Amino acid sequence: MSMQLNPSEISELIKERIKDFDASAEARTEGTVVSLTDGITRIHGLADAMQGEMLEFPNDTFGLALNLEQDSVGAVVLGDYEHIVEGDTVKCTGRILEVPVGDGLLGRVVDSLGHQLMVKARLIHHRRRRSKRWRPE
């Protein structure tokens, strides 16, 4: 015995499925950590990553995309990487690595992202610049 639907039932079924359909889309590109060795990660799924782009790892940790290959991206983690494990999700930020610049940094000890390591007073900087720039002619 085969069950047949009449046209009005089919129409109602389609309308119900369309009503319940969630068409949310996210613009971020995400990938998965497939290996991690001494702060160097291999990430699968970041097809739109750019050379020098900041990547967001779990726990507000950032990395830098360096080696762009067809199926994977090689990246260096900028900071503590002990909490990162295989299978973690990594997101593209769409931003090339930038660091704070200005006279407020004179005499300060900062990490690779410009965060103070020895806090004496509030760090005041007014601008951020890409870490790699063409030299002035």
Q: What is the pLDDT of residue 132?
A: 66
Nearest of 113, 96, 114, 93 to residue 104 by alpha carbon: 114
Q: Tell me the percentage of the chain whose pLDDT exceeds 90.
A: 37
Q: What is the 3-state secondary structure (H, E, C) of 15-76?
A: HHHHHHCCCCCCCCCEEEEEEEECCEEEEECCCCCCCCEEEEECCCEEEEEEEECCCEEEEE
Nearest of 72, 77, 73 to residue 58 by alpha carbon: 77
Average pLDDT value for residue range 7-16: 79
Q: Tell me the percentage of the chain whose pLDDT exceeds 70.
A: 79
Kindly report, residue by residue over 89-119, the tens digit of the pLDDT.
999 998 888 777 777 777 777 776 777 777 7
Say yes or no to pLDDT of 88 above 60: yes
Kindly report, as residue ranges, where domains of CATH 2.40.30.20 are found in the chain.
27-96
11 band by pLDDT with thresholds 50, 70 and 90: confident
HSE-CB at 99 with a 13 A cutoff on CA atoms is 17
Pairing of strands 89-96, 30-37: antiparallel
Say yes or no to pLDDT of 126 above 70: no
Kindly report, residue by residue over 59-73, the tens digit of the pLDDT.
989 999 999 998 899
List % helix, strand, coil for the chain (3-state, nearest 5). 10, 35, 50
CATH topology of domain 27-96: Elongation Factor Tu (Ef-tu); domain 3 (2.40.30)
131 band by pLDDT with thresholds 50, 70 and 90: low
Kindly report, residue by residue over 19-47, the tens digit of the pLDDT.
777 665 544 489 999 999 999 999 998 88
Nearest of 82, 17, 26, 76 to residue 51 by alpha carbon: 76
